């Protein structure tokens, strides 16, 4: 299973059997004391498009994932996957890329939080 290869900096926050899975980045750092809770980077793997009501998400065979830096700041949408396992594998690969500093997350911000982004740069070794 792909969750077993998740980088140590990421944790499985929630994993519903055959359902939604939420991955969280460094909850030890983004712990509400140094940064607001909304600053916890998360990857949501869901059946159907994430912004649809739950009953509509279950009506489709497609799986998606979305990476949120904050509730209103996300990376570009991801492609559709035919299975949960494929979506999880792609999400774990994105988590690895983020962990290695290969994701240009600053580009997602119109009004950046410099202290927060500087901390992400430090943790992910981004420049």
> pLDDT digits over 62-119, tens only?
899 999 998 888 888 778 899 999 999 999 999 999 999 999 888 888 887 888 889 8
At 85 the pLDDT is 94
Coil/strand/helix, residue 2:
helix
At 115 the pLDDT is 87
**Residue 41 predicted with pLDDT over 60:** yes
Q: pLDDT-based confidence at 125, cuts 50/70/90?
A: confident
Using alpha carbons, select from 118, 121, 122, 116 the residue that is nearest to residue 30: 116
At 79 the pLDDT is 82
At 113 the pLDDT is 81
Instruction: State the residue for tokens 């065979």.
Output: 61
3-state SS, 9-67, equals CEEEEEECCCCCEEEEECCCCCCCCCCCHHHCCEEEEEECCCCCCHHHHCCCCCEEEEE
- pTM here? 0.84
At 58 the pLDDT is 56
At 22 the pLDDT is 95
At 29 the pLDDT is 86
């Amino acid at each position: 299973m792909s969750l077993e290869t998740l980088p140590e900096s990421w944790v499985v926050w929630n994993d519903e059997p055959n359902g939604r899975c939420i991955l969280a980045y460094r909850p030890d750092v983004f712990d509400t004391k140094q940064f607001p809770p909304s600053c916890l980077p998360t990857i949501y793997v869901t059946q159907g498009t994430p912004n649809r009501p739950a009953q509509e998400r279950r009506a489709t065979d497609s799986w998606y994932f979305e990476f949120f830096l904050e509730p209103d700041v996300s990376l570009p949408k991801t492609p559709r996957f035919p299975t949960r396992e494929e979506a999880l594998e792609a999400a774990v690969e994105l988590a690895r890329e983020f962990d290695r500093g290969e994701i240009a997350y600053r580009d997602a911000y119109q009004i950046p939080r410099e202290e927060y982004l500087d901390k992400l740069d430090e943790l992910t070794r981004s420049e």
